[in-house]
Chain A
Amino acid sequence: MPLSAKVLMIDDDADCRASVRHLLESTGYTVVEAECGKDGLRRMVEHRPDVILLDVMMECASEGYSVTQAIKHQDCFSDYRGIPVIMLSSIQESPDELFPMSPESELIRPDRYIPKPVDAGLLLGAIESVLAARKPPAV
């Protein structure tokens, strides 16, 4: 897997973005930043990243899930459904807990969870493994 892969990082905390950006760039990745879910979806369409790092709790407690929901359910994003999503969260919140009544929680689940504060080694390992597992895009 080429290390020049593009990572889209959606997080409302500028400091969290700065440290992770540095970590990823020094490892060879290209990084695109977004500071909210809406901005994130826009950047995803603009830059077509290879992997998305997504913070759960931004403006609202579950904003991250509205991003995964948009990607998986809105037709305009259907081209982007194959992009792996790694969710970063400082509280243990799976969609089952946040939306206990939703039968569709499976559909908004990201590919990976990583707890915040991010352990650098764990994050790099997770990005490598989701990129490796990614299905080759249909040509």
Chain B
Amino acid sequence: MSQVAPSAPVPAPANPDATAVPGAPATIIVIDDDRAMRLSCEKILAKSGFRVQSFESGSAGLEAVSGLKPDMAVVDLKMPGISGMEVIARLHEIDPQIVIVVITGYATIDTAVEAMKSGAYDFVPKPFSPDELRLIVKRGLEHRRLVLESQQAEMERELLRRRFVTFVSHQLQTPLVAIHQYLDVLRRLDNPDPAKLHEWLDRCLTRTDEIQAIIKDWLTLAKVEGGQLVHQRAKVDLTRTIAEILKTYEVLAAAERITLENRMPEEGCPVVGDQNGLSVLFDNLVVNAIKYNRPGGKVAVSVERTPAEAVVSVADTGIGIPEKYRKLLFGEFFRIQDAKKTPGTGLGLAIAKRVASEMGGSISVDSEVDVGSTFRVRLLAWREPDEAQETGRA
């Protein structure tokens, strides 16, 4: 080894700049026919925590790319054999997202510009200081991180779009098909039995309600996403909000002999939020707690308060949620297989989650299968402006 090689082993990267993908050090290849240049680049970059490997020719570098999968390539433009420009083109053929920085021999801006036109991200003119190289590499890796992130986001959007198509074709089409078939068969009957006629028309109405519910939830979700549901962060009394919601569902709960327990503090529970948003949020949680309960079960709403937060719990004695589903639960269109017999749109919890976060809060769930689930909504407690602030403002 020459005297420029690092004397101590390269430490693991503590430096977050050294990663393109979180958790892994970025890999950089250096392609330069000048041995001294290769060694100094290796030394500078290894010291910053990158994994570095250098090659003396374009063909050697290109050969290694598929195996190494580097995040970045530092390429000398003037080399014998395959030219730097061709190396750039071939590197991009292998990985369109690889970041390429070119080293230009004589500070010839023209060749650097030409290289950037053919896809290089940046250039570093010789001679350069270690800091100049590090800065350009850091910028390049940041660029790669952003590109990879937007690619990931695009993939997630595509997945959501596909799920949406499946959702529309199934959940919206299923009730329509059922209604259509009832009507089609009824139309063919000369003298339909009045009891049957009634029964089927009732079913048709129930199924139109199902479509209405899907459309309603769908629009609510769109409103939350568009920032049109949660308008303000004002003082809202949760004790009153919860009492009103529980009253709305007394009949539904009584039909299943479910007890609704309001354990909210009588003196009130002020939180920061939007009245409409909070009503939608807890409406969804209370309805779920009733729907996915057992006959004779219980729904209890309570709160734990600190000066900063109010954590509201909606607890049921229902079917529970298997561990594997808990992460997916708040996603759009997600429904647990066993729960599919209970009518639902698969959007209620997605709405609840969005609303909570719009108000600076969050939502989580604890559950035990066949024992019950507890949904916890963490909200900011409302604090009256104290005297000092009042006088200060006056």
Contact = CB atoms under 8 A, between A and B. Distances in A.
Our verdict on whether A and B bind, yes or no, reads yes
Nearest to A60: B337
B212 interface: no
Interface stretch (A44-52, A73-81, A105-113, A117-125): A117-125
Given A22-B185, A22-B196, A15 B173 contact: no
B276 interface: no
A61 B171 CA distance: 11
Interface of B is mostly: helix
A31 to B, nearest CB: 13
Interface size bracket, A side: 10 to 19
B174 A118 contact: no
A90 B173 contact: yes
A81 to B, nearest CB: 29
Contact of B188 (A20, A23, A57): A23
Contacts of A120: 184-185, 188
A13 B250 CA distance: 29
Given A119-B184, A120-B184, A120-B185, A13 B177 contact: yes
Contacts of B340: 59
B188 to A, nearest CB: 6
A118 B181 contact: yes
A91 B169 contact: yes
Interface string B174-194: 101111111011001100000
Contact of B184 (A13, A61, A117): A117
A59 B207 CA distance: 19
A67 B185 CA distance: 27
A116 B203 CA distance: 18
B218 interface: no
Given A90-B173, A90-B177, A117-B176, A19 B182 contact: yes
A119 B183 CA distance: 11
A19 B188 contact: no
19 contacts: A13-B174, A13-B178, A15-B178, A15-B203, A15-B207, A16-B178, A16-B181, A19-B182, A20-B185, A26-B189, A57-B170, A61-B170, A90-B169, A91-B169, A116-B173, A117-B180, A117-B181, A118-B184, A120-B188
Interface of B: 166, 169-170, 173-174, 176-182, 184-185, 188-189, 196, 200, 203, 207, 337, 340
Minimum-distance CB pairs A-B, first 9: A117-B180, A15-B178, A19-B181, A117-B177, A19-B185, A91-B169, A116-B177, A90-B173, A19-B182
